[in-house]
Amino acid sequence: MSSKPFSFRCLRFVLACWWWLTLLGFATCLLFLIAAPSEKLSFAVLGYASDIDTTAFSVHDRQGRSLDFAFPDGVPVTLLFPESGNGVRAGLVQRAFAALVIVPCFLVGLFFIKQLRDIMKTVDQDDPFAVANARRIRIIGLLILAFELIVCFGRLAMSGFVDIMARPEGFNFNGRIHLDLELLVVALAMLVLSEVFRHGTRLRDEQSLTI
């Protein structure tokens, strides 16, 4: 087995640190969700504002003339909930909604990192074009899609949860499905790359059999 370059060893070290830090973060979040006192819970909810009351705002040009303006529907807004005084019942609801988003995201993240580490192992064994790597690259693309969907629908669910925790004045707080186009492009690129990789591996195997 040939000696690997310094960049490879650094990347392998980064992946190992990423793996263990993610596990540590997962364990910490679970411990917090289970053991944190309800009155100490604080959290933020991302949603979208519509029907904004603009009477408190004004815009003037340089001559002092009033200008009309309007906010488009779907302006991103984050509600920051301080330490809750709603007691244990509210804390349990907060934990349940947080777990619905946090736990799947961490599991997807851990599985994502595992695929990368498995690919690095094949490189370390001087067999980067293993058939299994095509499957791993495809899984990475699917995991990116899964992560985006979990976050998207998690935010939608949390914004609905706001209805029982807060009553906005001057605007309506709504949830909506908002997908990150950049992540979708990356996921699609990974799926295409996996097919190219799989086809190239098959051609290599066929060529090796004909020699």
Per domain, the residue ranges of the chain are 6-210
Query: Higher model confidence: residue 155 or residue 148?
Result: 148
Query: Which value, to the nearest 10 degrees, does the dihedral of the CA atoms of residues 29, 31, 32, 38 take?
Result: 140
The residue count of the chain comes to 211
- Which phi and psi angles does 19 have, rounded to 5°? -60, -50
pLDDT confidence of residue 168: 79
pLDDT tens for each residue of 38-67? 655 666 666 777 788 888 788 888 888 888
Q: Is the dihedral of CA 28, 31, 34, 37 positive or negative?
A: negative
pLDDT tens for each residue of 92-128? 766 777 787 788 889 999 999 999 999 999 988 888 8
What's the pTM value of the predicted model, to 2 decimals? 0.71
Query: Higher model confidence: residue 11 or residue 37?
Result: 11
